[in-house]
Amino acid sequence: MPAIARMVEADDLDLVISTVDVELIALSERREELAPAILAAPSADTLNTALDKMARRALRSDRPHPRTVLAGSDAAAVDWEFPVFAKPRQGAGSRGVRLVPDRAALDALPTDEGLIVQDFLPGEEYSVDVIADAAGNVIAAVPRTRARVDSGVAIAGRTVRDEELEETAAVIARAIGLVGVANVQLRRDRAGRAVLLEVNPRFPGALPLTIAAGVDIPSLVTDLFLGRELPVRVPFREVASVRFLEDVIVEVDDLLVSAHAGHQEEL
């Protein structure tokens, strides 16, 4: 926090935006230390609910949701349809997720790793980028498919206009008291209904696609947290994207040296 506060002062920053799950709660609990800069994040309470994959407020009962319980005796007591899915209660980047094929495998799950057990969702997966204004009104909910995922980031996909997906994500955003941006991940259950996987209360890795579809989340978040008025509703269109890696070849003399790119020693 002191290091960020020094950057705020040195560069005269107005806004601080964190894109890292594990830093969000700590930052939001001590946001006044960043003054005069504003932390562009919802309350610590909202973040705690969002980052907990078992939070009842996110798994709202008026929308279909997967049964979700702690691994151990709670999970053993449920009459599951196998396979089921297990994952860390607070995880990221698909680390520690596993398919549990039968009751023996369920009983063998470790109980000291904060694992949750959930109905297996076999259908298509979507990420819905949601932005809510200061009063919690959802002004855009943009669903996109994740056709290819690399290290937890969608590298190919498309936006889809789908009333069920948009409304389900908006209901979840309102239930957790979202102000600002979140990425609500949904997946279709065995009956084909879109249900909640998890909420990431930060900018998504596939943000360029949502911007290209018409919802400029960075601009909207900036306006929101600087107290400017937001539109009531921002429309979007269907568009697709593919991300690729490219080698850029330059003359050695054209290389730039920057203290912000790990070149400290050379400087």
Among 16, 58, 121, 142, which residue interacts with ligand ADP (rule: CB under 6 A)?
Answer: 121
Q: Which of 185, 218, 220 is nearest to 201 (CA)?
A: 185
Q: Whole-number minimum distance, CB 77 to Mg ion, in Å?
A: 27
Return the exposure string of 215-252: e unless at least 16 CB atoms fall within 10 Å of the residue's CB, then b: bbbeebbeebbeeeebeeebebeeeebeeeeeeeeeee
- Selection from ligand ADP, Mg ion, none that 121 binds (CB < 5 to 8 A by kind) is ligand ADP
Q: x/- string (CB under 5 A) for Mg ion, residues 172-191?
A: -------------x------
Do residues 154 and 126 touch, judged by C-beta distance below 8 A? no
Q: Whole-number minimum distance, CB 28 to Mg ion, in Å?
A: 20
Using DSSP bridges, classify how beta strands 180-188 and 125-132 pair: parallel, antiparallel or unpaired.
antiparallel
CB atoms within 10 A of CB 97: 12
Q: Which of 233, 217, 213 is nearest to 160 (CA)?
A: 213
Q: Whole-number minimum distance, CB 154 to Mg ion, in Å?
A: 10
Residue 20 or 250 having the CB closest to Mg ion: 20
Q: Whole-number minimum distance, CB 8 to ligand ADP, in Å?
A: 29
Given the structure tokens 């709670």, which residue do they identify?
Answer: 74
The residues that touch Mg ion, with contacts defined as CB under 5 A, are 185
The residues that touch ligand ADP, with contacts defined as CB under 6 A, are 53, 66, 85, 87, 91-94, 97, 118, 120-121, 125, 152, 185, 187, 197-198
